[in-house]
A and B are shown apart, each in its own frame.
Chain A
Amino acid sequence: MRFETRTSPHLIPSHSVGGVMRQVLYALVPGTLAMTWFFGWGVLVNVMLAVLFAVGFEALMVALRRRPVGATLADSSAILAGWLFALAIPPLAPFWVLLTGTAFAIVVAKHLYGGLGYNPFNPAMVGYVVVLVSFPREISLWPAPEGLLHGSLTLLQTLQTSLTGRLPDGMEWDAITRASPLDLMRDGLVAGQTVGEVTRSPVFGSFSETGWEWTGNLFLLGGLWLLYRRVITWHIPAAMVLTLATTAGVFWVIDPDQFASPAFHVFSGAAIIGAFFIATDPVSAATTPLGRILYGAGIGLLTYVIRTWGGYPDAVAFAVLLMNMVAPTLDHYTRPRIFGHSRDRHG
């Protein structure tokens, strides 16, 4: 009797790229819903449009490169890149911001470098930085986190805003948007206020602004689930959060009037989602265990430095891209000791 010959292992495969990506997507759901609750329908509209654009660009690029379109789309990596990008963008951003960002993320950052697995930079962050420097006004307009129940725009109005870039008649940007906690803190400190005076503002919750806090908490929940499911390892998130908190802690202890608390830094802005969902993008991160710790620590440190002394409040994206550059070097110098060898090998 004849049989097929195949290579080992002869077991049901335990993992797939699509499976890994989809687990990350599931883990994003709670945080995304929380964001929608606090910042309005715009979050969902952004996610849907960005995913649509990202998948469209992915399909186009794959077709141009004469690869199987269906099989490539099935890996869900374009959906994930679009989704992560959408979460970084203010909920009422006009559609061309999303189109530009996803185009750069998918076409330039991903496929011009060889597609999935070959991109040295995190595509979503490349897309975000491109729109950040291209559309500074649109990117700074964050709605005040007031909860969907007292939200000001309906789904239809949101769609309209997204498509036209203009608010419905009778509404003013100034009325519905507010600086993010990081912006508030920066502007307050620049204006000569102390940290205490800034955080005494009624919008602040226990660590940060209420809506931002809750969003952070639910992304943290998703991140912990990813850890539990072993989709990601602890190295990068732990190193990033601990470094950010420690660095913030040192300055905070020295001068609590001029430097915000570690809790504020960890629960404001993109620190949590960055630590669990963005910095952990395997393709552009370091891969050795020690390399991942250094990589995460680098992102944490750079995030603090950029937030505190840099020109942009959106520090995580820049920190991730800067550490992407050194990831190969980190890998090279952090090779683990091989079984049966007495010492680590270094290039």
Chain B
Amino acid sequence: MHLHRFHGGLKLPDHKTESTVRPLLALDIPQVLFLPLSQHIGEPAEPLVGPGDTVLKGQRIGHANDYIAAHLHAPTSGRVREIAEYPVPHPSGLTAPCIVIEADGDDRWHDDRLRGWPDWHERDARSLRERIRDAGIVGLGGAAFPTAVKLNPRPGKAIHTLVVNGAECEPYISCDDTLMRERPKSVLAGVRIVAHLLGVERVLFAVEDNKPEALRALRDALSSHDRSRIQLVGIPSIYPTGGERQLIRVLTGREVPSAGLPADLGIVCHNPGTLKAVADAVLDGHPLISRIVTVTGPGVREPRNVEALIGTPFADLVAAAGGYAPEVNRLVMGGPMMGFAVGDDAVPVIKGTNCLLATRPQDTPEPGPLMPCIRCGECTRVCPANLLPQQLYWFAKSKNFDAIQDYGLFDCIECGCCARVCPSNIPLVQYYRFAKNEIWAREKERQKADLARERFEFRQLRQQREEQEKAERLARKKAAVAKQAPEGEKKAAIDAALERARAKKAAQTGENPADNGRPDT
């Protein structure tokens, strides 16, 4: 297959073997699980249980109210201790509402659990999508976008190609590699289901060529029927090949339009972990309650991959990897390029947790002092979106938000290549995030202001109209009266009417005095 290349990118030291020398380990059930209600892009789930409730494994405990949202399931059986704010994995070290479950150790499945569909071939796309949604599946590559949404292309957008993104281009991370090696059949089952659901003509299964064992395992697991439809493609390991847009470019030579989605090219892209979760949901009826996480880096003693229940505290994963090395000082969720450092290892594994990376001071030395940009252009050379990062930096710094958008700020995928090569130690990606947030905030502000102005203008218009109508009514009345009666006759008529009323009142009080003082009977 002819491969293409994208502009820029970096060859990074891959550090994958550290964690792949040890076999995959299924973690014990932790005593307490912390399940954040929001684990994905979109609206948080609404809790379906309360403190003191007993929950069973696989039971839905959080409901997705929004279209872009995902259900949450109990990873094991136990009792809900509370629903309260706890630290969650987030760059800002935020706390967020979590359902806290004390495990009872029985690991008893919920009775009403979904039933497996060995006959999935006969199911239509709609019910398969519903099943995937019921299972609470989100993209497991890290971005955690609800999968059912991605499998529901807009009408008129025919999908002809499914791309499986087994690139896993960040250094250190090997959870997809491990999954593809150890459970290639499950992954391929997920591929078949999604290919069937989308009705695609072909599947391109891309794996970076630094994972020969994964490629071999997948090749061995392919049936003869698969071989005609599913094409395994070894691709060069250049960061960030695992970016959806970059991968599509490598495989097809086409670029996803800036404002569009891969679906605009007839392509949908999924991660192997996600597809394995789809297979579990469809074939066995299992919701997404666990995932493989790479626990690695020089800051842990025995780097390895573990299968952990969602909600397991990071500390338990590190313990399974032999504990911390003596000098550990930083714990990162995700890879070294796009991951963020967490302040505490009590935070739990969420659906998007692909890797825990622990480092020591000598692995991530204090960068030198922040230096001025010398416009060396290294960032331009490595930017996979072909942007001019140093120009974006100047504009972000001067808060020139019009210019920065004109220079393609929103085409930035935040891969961090520019920051990686910047000799001046400028945290470039932070500047772009700042600019994006600022622009979004202003946009919201502007919308609010627009709405207020519209309301105000409408109110003014209404008042004006009422005023005008009143004036017209008065004028009409005046005109009518004036037409009916000249001035003198009118006064005589009024006097006559008053006279009549007075006479009537006098007559009433004289004739019926008892009416007013009638006693109750």
Assess whether B385 is interfacial by the CB under 8 Å rule.
Answer: yes
Chain B 217-230 interface mask (CB, 8 Å, partner A; 1/0) = 00000000000000
Assess whether A289 is interfacial by the CB under 8 Å rule.
Answer: yes
Evaluate contact between B330 and A336: CB separation under 8 angstroms.
no
CA distance A345 to B391 in the complex (A): 14
Assess whether A331 is interfacial by the CB under 8 Å rule.
Answer: yes
**Inside 8 A of A292's CB, which chain B residues have their CB?**
377
Assess whether A288 is interfacial by the CB under 8 Å rule.
Answer: yes
Please tell me the number of chain B residues within 8 Å of chain A, measured between CB atoms: 71
* Given known contacts A10-B364, A287-B375, A15 and B421 CB-to-CB distance under 8 angstroms: yes
* Given known contacts A9-B420, A339-B6, A115 and B381 CB-to-CB distance under 8 angstroms: no
- Listed by A's residue number, 13 A-B pairs whose Cβ atoms lie within 8 Å are A1-B345, A3-B329, A3-B345, A14-B420, A19-B423, A20-B376, A115-B372, A116-B372, A282-B374, A287-B377, A340-B258, A345-B408, A347-B406
Assess whether B506 is interfacial by the CB under 8 Å rule.
Answer: no
Evaluate contact between B374 and A2: CB separation under 8 angstroms.
no
Evaluate contact between A16 and B425: CB separation under 8 angstroms.
yes
CA distance A6 to B249 in the complex (A): 32
User: Which among A19, A115, A341 has the greatest number of chain B C-beta atoms within 10 A?
Assistant: A341
Of residues 459 to 500 in B, which have CB atoms within 8 Å of A's CB atoms?
none
Assess whether B427 is interfacial by the CB under 8 Å rule.
Answer: yes
- Summed over the interface, the residue pairs from A and B with CB atoms below 8 Å come to a total of 171
CA distance A285 to B255 in the complex (A): 31
Give the distance to chain B from A277, nearest Cβ to Cβ, in Å: 14
Chain B interface residues toward A at CB < 8 A: 6-7, 12-13, 91, 93, 171, 245, 249, 255-258, 260, 315, 324, 328-332, 336-345, 357, 359, 363-365, 367-369, 371-378, 380-381, 384-388, 390-391, 406-408, 411, 416, 419-425, 427, 429-430
**Inside 8 A of B342's CB, which chain A residues have their CB?**
3, 5
Evaluate contact between A13 and B245: CB separation under 8 angstroms.
no
Please tell me the number of chain A residues within 8 Å of chain B, measured between CB atoms: 46
* Given known contacts A2-B344, A5-B343, A17 and B371 CB-to-CB distance under 8 angstroms: yes
**Inside 8 A of B328's CB, which chain A residues have their CB?**
3
Chain A 304-347 interface mask (CB, 8 Å, partner B; 1/0) = 00000000000000000000000000010001111111100101
* Given known contacts A115-B372, A338-B408, A339-B386, A8 and B340 CB-to-CB distance under 8 angstroms: yes
**Inside 8 A of B385's CB, which chain A residues have their CB?**
338-340
**Inside 8 A of A246's CB, which chain B residues have their CB?**
none
Assess whether A68 is interfacial by the CB under 8 Å rule.
Answer: yes
**Inside 8 A of B427's CB, which chain A residues have their CB?**
7
Cβ 8 A contact of B423, one of A8, A17, A287, A345:
A17
Evaluate contact between B373 and A10: CB separation under 8 angstroms.
no
Give the distance to chain A from B108, nearest Cβ to Cβ, in Å: 32
Give the distance to chain B from A282, nearest Cβ to Cβ, in Å: 4
* Given known contacts A14-B421, A338-B385, A1 and B315 CB-to-CB distance under 8 angstroms: yes
Chain A interface residues toward B at CB < 8 A: 1-20, 68, 71, 75, 115-118, 233, 282-283, 285, 287-289, 292, 331, 335-342, 345, 347
**Inside 8 A of B378's CB, which chain A residues have their CB?**
15
* Given known contacts A2-B344, A282-B376, A9 and B371 CB-to-CB distance under 8 angstroms: no
Instruction: Report the nearest B residue to A8, measured CB to CB.
Output: B416
CA distance A1 to B315 in the complex (A): 8
Evaluate contact between A13 and B367: CB separation under 8 angstroms.
yes
CA distance A347 to B388 in the complex (A): 14
Instruction: Report the nearest B residue to A347, measured CB to CB.
Output: B406
**Inside 8 A of A3's CB, which chain B residues have their CB?**
328-331, 341-345
Evaluate contact between B324 and A1: CB separation under 8 angstroms.
yes
CA distance A342 to B369 in the complex (A): 39
Cβ 8 A contact of A9, one of B373, B388, B419:
B419
Cβ 8 A contact of B12, one of A11, A75, A118, A345:
A11
User: Which among B363, B372, B387, B416 has the greatest number of chain A C-beta atoms within 10 A?
Assistant: B372
Going nearest first, the 4 A-B pairs with the smallest beta carbon separation are: A117-B372, A340-B258, A15-B423, A10-B336
Evaluate contact between B339 and A336: CB separation under 8 angstroms.
no
CA distance A200 to B43 in the complex (A): 84
Evaluate contact between A117 and B375: CB separation under 8 angstroms.
yes
CA distance A116 to B419 in the complex (A): 19
Given A15-B421, A340-B256, A341-B408, 15 more A-B residue pairs with CB atoms under 8 Å apart are: A1-B315, A3-B330, A7-B429, A8-B336, A8-B419, A13-B367, A16-B368, A18-B368, A71-B369, A117-B371, A117-B375, A282-B376, A336-B7, A340-B260, A345-B406
**Inside 8 A of A11's CB, which chain B residues have their CB?**
12-13, 171, 336-337, 363-364, 420
**Inside 8 A of B345's CB, which chain A residues have their CB?**
1, 3
Evaluate contact between A75 and B371: CB separation under 8 angstroms.
yes
Give the distance to chain B from A25, nearest Cβ to Cβ, in Å: 15
**Inside 8 A of A8's CB, which chain B residues have their CB?**
332, 336-340, 416, 419, 429
Give the distance to chain A from B305, nearest Cβ to Cβ, in Å: 19
**Inside 8 A of A115's CB, which chain B residues have their CB?**
372
CA distance A9 to B425 in the complex (A): 10
Cβ 8 A contact of A337, one of B93, B336, B337, B386:
B386
Evaluate contact between B341 and A6: CB separation under 8 angstroms.
yes
Evaluate contact between A336 and B377: CB separation under 8 angstroms.
no
Cβ 8 A contact of B374, one of A68, A117, A337:
A117
**Inside 8 A of B388's CB, which chain A residues have their CB?**
287-288, 331, 335-336
Instruction: Report the nearest A residue to B337, measured CB to CB.
Output: A9
Evaluate contact between B381 and A233: CB separation under 8 angstroms.
yes
CA distance A17 to B421 in the complex (A): 11
Give the distance to chain B from A132, nearest Cβ to Cβ, in Å: 26
Cβ 8 A contact of B330, one of A6, A14, A288, A289:
A6
Evaluate contact between A335 and B425: CB separation under 8 angstroms.
no
Instruction: Report the nearest A residue to B328, measured CB to CB.
Output: A3
Cβ 8 A contact of A338, one of B338, B359, B387, B429:
B387
Evaluate contact between B423 and A289: CB separation under 8 angstroms.
no
CA distance A292 to B369 in the complex (A): 29
